[in-house]
Amino acid sequence: MKIRYLQLGFIIALVLVFLASCGGESLKEGDDSGGDVGTVQVAAVAVEADSTTIDPEASTSVTAFVYNSSGGPVSGVDVVFTLSNPVLAYITNTSTSDSNGEATATFTARTLPGEVEITATAESVSSDPETIFILDETEPQSITLEATPDTVIVEGTSTVTATVLGDGGADVPNGTTVTFTVDDDSYGTVTASSVTNSNKATATFEAGNNPGQVEITARSGTAVSDPVTITIEQAPAAFIEFVSAEPSLIAIAGTGGTEISTIQFRVTDSNGNPLQNVTVLFEIHDGLNGGEYIDPSGDGTPGEIEVSSSSDGIAQCALHSGTVAGPVTITGTIFDGVDPLMTVRSSVVSIGGGVPSERRFSVAAETLNLPGLQINGRETDITAYLADRFGNYNILDGTVVSFVTELGLTVDSSSATADQSGTATVAIKTQGYGPQDVIPLSWETDLIDYVDTTYGYSTTNHPRDGLCSVLVYTRGEEHFDDTNANGVYDDLPTPEPFLDTLPDPFCDYNDNESHDDGSTDPYEQYISADGSGVYNGTLNGVWDSIDADKMLFRNFKILVTGSPVIRSDTATFNIPNGGSEAITVIVCDRNLNPLTPGSTITITTDAGKVSGRNDYTFPNSSVIGPDMDGHLGLIEFPFIISDSDPEEDKQESATITVEVSWEGDTYSLLILGNVDYTAP
C-alpha cells in the first residue's frame, strides 16, 4: 500500500523546522523511536483507500496513517473517519491506530452512483480527503451519430440522431442528457441538447445561407462522439421542402390510438412560388418492417406512392402504422424528366405501443422525508413515469394512474391522468398517525440494543416503523423480449421470454415485497384485479397484456419522521494537556431515522477544539439500513475533542454543545468536561 510521501514529508518538515526553532525541548527522551509521545503527539494524518473506484454495494478497505513530529508512527490513538455524503456510502466511524500507526475502516457503497470524500481525524489533525468514485453501470460510454439526410440545401434541415450506450453496450436510462455542438455556426445551428429515449436522442440541424460542409459532435457525460458531416448545397431552380408530419406520434396498429400520420411536402420554383401538378415520389425510409405502409392500393409496393402537387404546391401521403414501434421517416423526390432532381426527408414519426410496460414504469417524489410524526399537512408531489415497451412516453397521454397511501400520508386524488410527457403527478401530505408498526428485522433489533447500550436511549421503535408506502398502479402489459422483432408476443413455436408479475397490487407496509394478511405483520390493503374481492398472489406463468386487465404496480417509500433525539456516548470528558478523546453522538428521530432534509447539526466547544463530523446537513433521502452499520452511518456523528494549546498547561472547564436545527426549532445537548485536566 502506497503512502503519500510528498504531502506527508512536507507536513513533517514544517513541524521539524518549528521544533528546531524551539531548541528541540518539546520532545521527550525516546521520541526518535516513534514509540513515545511528545507534547504534540500527532503531527500528520494521511488516508488511503485500497480502491478509489468501486461498484454500487461494493466495499473497500480504508487505512489512516498517523505520524508524530519525527515521522514515526503513533499507536493507540483514536481515529475518526467521516464521509462527505453518507447517503451514498457508509464507513466504520472510529478505529484505533496499531503499532505501525495504521487504523483501518471499511467503506461500503450504497446503490446510487457519485463521489464521496473520506477524511481521517486523529486528535485535532485531519487528513486531506480521499475521493472514492461509485460507478453507475449505465453511465454513457459510447455515442454514435447519424445525420439524415447528410446533404441538404441552404436553409434546409437534417435530423441528427445520437445512439448512446453504456458499458458493454448496456442501455442508458431514458432522460440521459446529450448535448450537440456544430463546429462552425456560420453554416447553421443545431439543437443544443436533447434527452435519450430507448438509447437515442435527436437534434435538428438548420442550415444557413452558405453552401459548404459542417461537422456536428455529441457529448453525454464523459463520452464524446466522432463528428458527423453534413454537406450544404445551393438550391436548385425548382425544389421540394418538407412541411409537416401530423401527428408526429402514432400508435401501433390495433392498440386503439391514432394510427395515421399525414406527411406533407411543398414544391416551389426558385422564387418560392408553388408549383402545381409536379409528381412527387413518397418512399418509406428507416422503416421497421412491421407492416407500416403509405400506399393502400395493394399493388405490391406499400412503401412508396406517387402524388401530384396541388395548386398550393402541397403533395401529401398518409403513413399507416404497423405492429412494430420505433421511428419512421418519409422521403419526397421530384424529378428532372426521368432523373431525380432533389430528395428531401421528413421529420421523424414515432410509432409507439400505446400501452405502459412493466420495465418502463417508475415513481419519484420531490421530498423523500416528511416530518409527519409531529407536523400535519406537510406536502410533496409524487410522480409516476410511464413509457411503452419501446420507450415512447407521449403516446400514453390520458393513461390513468391510481394512488393508495399507508397510514401517515394522504393523497389529494386517488387517481391522475398521464400527460404528453408520460407523467402523472399527485400531491401527498402528512396526516394523522405515523406508518404502521412492523416486526423488526434482526439488524433493527441489533440497532435497538446498540443504541440502548451505547447511548442509554431505550426504545422499541426501529427504522422501518417510519417507512410509509405509497402504492402506485396502472393498467399495462408485462415486459417481454421480442426475439423476432415482429412487435407482438409469440407463444409458438417457442414462447418468448417475459417477466411474470403478481396479479394484484398491494400496499407493502412492512417492505417485504409480499402481501401480508394480518396474521403476523399488519394487514395490507390490496386491489383485486379480477374483481373477485379475494387477494391473488400467484404468478400465472403466461404473458399478460392490457387486454387481460393486467395491473402494473410499484410501492414507493416516503420516510415519515419526527423531532430530534440527541444522545452522547459519554456524560463527561477529561482531556489531559496535549491529549484528545473520541466522542460520538447520535441524532435521529424516535424511530432511529435521519431527520428531515435541511436539518443541521453543529458541534462546538468553548474550550479546546473539536474535529471530525461536527457540521452536517441532512439530505433529501429516504435511505435506511441496509444493516446496522449502514444505518448508523446516517445518524451517528463521531468527533474528537482535543487540547488546542498544548504549550499552556492550565486546566479549564469546557462545554461541548451539540446544536440541532429542525423544522424552525433548535435543540441542544451539552456535554460538560475539562481540558488540560490533571487527575487529583
Please confirm whether the linkage preceding 463 is cis (ω < 30° from 0): no
pLDDT reported for residue 459: 97
pLDDT of residue 363: 95
For the chain, how many helices (H) and strands (E)? 3, 47
Q: Is 442 helix (H, G, I), strand (E, B) or coil?
A: helix
In the prediction, which pLDDT does 17 show? 36
- Kindly give the parts of the chain with pLDDT less than 70: 1-40, 136-138, 175, 237, 287-288, 353, 395
Q: Distance of CA 620 to CAs 5, 594, 599, Å?
A: 39, 10, 10
- Maximum CA extent, the chain: 113
For residue 186, count other CB atoms closer than 10 A to its CB: 10
Are the CB atoms for 303 and 293 separated by under 8 Å?
A: yes
Q: For the packed helices 628-635 and 442-455, what is the interaxial angle rounded to 10 degrees?
A: 50
Angle at 69 between CA 65 and CA 70, to 5 degrees: 90
Closest residue by Cα to residue 34 from 10, 78, 68: 68
User: How many other CB atoms sit within 10 Å of the CB of residue 108?
Assistant: 18
Compute the distance between CA of residue 527 and CA of residue 539 in angstroms, rounded to an integer.
16
Closest CA to 191 of 166, 221, 158: 158
**pLDDT (0 to 100) of residue 237:** 61
Euclidean distance between CA atoms 356 and 613, whole angstroms: 46
Give the model's pLDDT for residue 234: 76
**pLDDT at residue 254, as a whole number:** 76
Residues 675-678: contacts with CB under 8 Å, at least 24 apart:
675/575, 675/607, 675/608, 675/641, 675/643, 675/644, 675/651, 676/575, 676/576, 676/577, 676/643, 676/648, 676/649, 676/650, 676/651, 676/652, 677/574, 677/575, 677/576, 677/651, 678/576, 678/577, 678/651
Amino acid at 471: L
Contacts of 561 (CB under 8 A, 6+ apart): 369, 370, 371, 372, 373, 466, 589, 591, 593, 594, 595, 596
CA 373-374-377 angle, 5° bins: 95
- Sign of dihedral through CA atoms 500, 502, 504, 505? negative
Confidence at residue 137, expressed as pLDDT on a 0 to 100 scale: 61
Distance CA 476, CA 354 (A): 9
Q: What is the pLDDT of residue 28?
A: 32
Is residue 71 within 8 A of residue 108, CB to CB? The reply is no
CB burial string 630-652: b at 16+ within 10 A, e below:
bbbbbbbbbbbbbbeebeeeeee
Angle of CA points 535, 540, 541, to nearest 5°: 155
Task: Please tell me the number of Cα atoms within 13 Å of 554 on its side-chain side.
Answer: 19
CB atoms within 10 A of CB 508: 22
Q: How far apart are the first and last CA of the chain?
A: 45
Cβ burial 664-679 (10 Å sphere, 16+ → b, else e): eeebebebebbbbbee
Q: Which residues contact 95 (CB under 8 A, 6 or more apart)?
A: 64, 78, 79, 81, 103, 104, 105
Sequence-distant (≥ 6) Cβ neighbours of residue 398 within 8 angstroms: 417, 418
Q: What pLDDT shows up at residue 138?
A: 66
Instruction: Identify which of 662, 661, 660 has the alpha carbon closest to the alpha carbon of residue 585.
Output: 660
Taking a C-beta distance cutoff of 8 angstroms, is the pair 71, 12 a contact? yes
Backbone angles phi, psi at 460, to 5 degrees: -105, -5
**Gap between the Cα atoms of 416 and 470, Å rounded:** 14
| Three cell numbers written together for 641 | 475533542
Whole-angstrom Cα Rg for the chain: 33
336 backbone dihedrals φ, ψ, rounded to 5°: -105, 90
What was the pLDDT predicted at 680? Answer: 77
Q: Could you give the count of Cα atoms lying within 13 Å of 378 in the half-sphere of its Cβ?
A: 22
Look at the chain and count its residues.
680
Q: Are strands 565-568 and 572-575 parallel, antiparallel or unpaired?
A: unpaired
pLDDT in tens, 298-321: 888 999 999 999 999 999 999 999
Beta strand ranges found along 321-443 (DSSP E): 326-336, 339-345, 349-352, 362-365, 369-370, 379-385, 400-405, 408-411, 415-417, 423-431
Cβ pair 641, 654 in contact under 8 A: yes
> What are the cell numbers at 15?
513541524
Mention every residue, 6+ apart, whose C-beta is less than 8 A from residue 185.
none
What is the spatial distance between Cα 377 and Cα 359, in angstroms, rounded to a whole number?
33
The H-or-E segment that residue 571 falls in is: none
Report the distance separating Cα 265 and Cα 460, nearest Å. Answer: 72
How many Cβ atoms from other residues are within 10 Å of residue 184's Cβ? 12
Question: From the centroid of its chain, how far is CA 132?
Answer: 17
The pTM of the full predicted model, rounded to 2 decimals, is: 0.72
